[in-house]
Structures are given as structure tokens and as C-alpha cells.
Amino acid sequence: MTAIFDAIELAARAHRGHCRKGTQIPYIVHPLAVAKILIDTGCPEDVVVAGILHDTVEDTPLSLDEIRQGFGDAVARIVEGASEPDKSRPWEERKAHTIESLRTASEAVLLVSCADKIENLRAIREDRERVGEEVWTRFRRGREQQEWYYRSVFAVLEERLTAGPGLSLVSQLKEALAEVFG
């Protein structure tokens, strides 16, 4: 349990000053919500820790080596697997890479990725309730491209996560998809 608290501290420092897209909500709320989803479905501690840290390498100066030093190889590998490649690449290329990498990713990476997508879709749903369809202007691509991406990720996760905590996560993702995209 100490590792979870250490990960929360590190993620809070790394994401300090960052907010969710188009909101004043501190970014740390997202990895904490991802962690709660993972805990609630009975995922092991290293998966929860990686869920807390999953955006740090992608969105902050924190390195995989720092995560490895603080939390070990298993957590670092999960974070690496759940991170997008170079953000300077075109959106379509990054998303296609993510979808393709999920086809061969470890179960732990799939669990973190699924919880991340559930939480993203729940946040989109809540924001859409407040601001309407304007919510889509916050993203690099609009509703149609976002729907393609989330449904493509869901298809891979549904095929690969067929037991244990993955079943519950896939069910939650399916529900979140329906709430946002119909």
C-alpha cells in the first residue's frame, strides 16, 4: 500500500499546475480516478501504481528510469506500455500505434489502458452535460475521430480481456462508450 501513496505523491508533483483539457479541474484527479477504477475491480498493486503514473512519462518531464528506480521494472514496463509514442507525431499515427500495440500488450497494460479510457469517457460525458457538444473542440480531433479511436480500442480490449478484472473493466468501458457515443 505504501507504493500507492508514493505514486500519488510523485504523480501530484509531476502534474502540479496541470488541468484537464478545457477545465479548471487539477489533472491529478484523472490518475486518481483511474486508480480507483483499478482498485475497485481488484487489480494488483503494481497495476494500480502504474495507473496512477500512466501519464507522467507522456505528459511531464518524469522519465521511465525515475519510475523504474522508485517502483521497479514491472511498474515501469506497464507505464511504458500504456504511454503514447512521441507526441510530435500526427494524431492519427499515434492513435493507430496505440491500437496496434494493445494487440500484443501485457494484461497489466491492457488493464491500465482500459481504466484510462473509462475515466476519459466519463469525464467527456460529464463535461458534455455542462457545455454540450462544444466539449469536442477541446480535443485535437472531433467527435467522429474520437469515436473511431475509442471504439477501436474497445474492440481490442474486448477481445483480449476475457477474465478476471478485465471482464468488469470491459463492461464499464462498453457502458461509457454508449453514454458518450450512443
pLDDT of residue 23: 82
pLDDT of residue 88: 85
Which three-class secondary structure state does DSSP give residue 88?
Answer: coil
User: Which residue in 46, 59, 147, 158 is the catalytic one?
Assistant: 59
- Give dist(CA 39, CA 52) in Å, integer: 11
Average pLDDT over all residues of the chain: 95
Tally the C-alpha atoms within 13 A of residue 158's C-alpha that lie toward its C-beta: 12
Structural fold of domain 2-181: Hypothetical protein af1432 (1.10.3210)
User: Which residue in 6, 45, 58, 80 is the catalytic one?
Assistant: 58
- pLDDT of 1 higher than 80: no
- Give dist(CA 62, CA 67) in Å, integer: 8
Q: For 44, list phi and psi in degrees, rounded to 5.
A: -70, 160
> Is 58 annotated in the active site?
yes
> Is 59 annotated in the active site?
yes
- Give dist(CA 121, CA 150) in Å, integer: 9
Q: Which amino acid is at 94?
A: R
- Is 0.75 topped by the overall pTM? yes
Q: What is the mean pLDDT of residues 116-133?
A: 95
Domain boundaries, the chain: 2-181
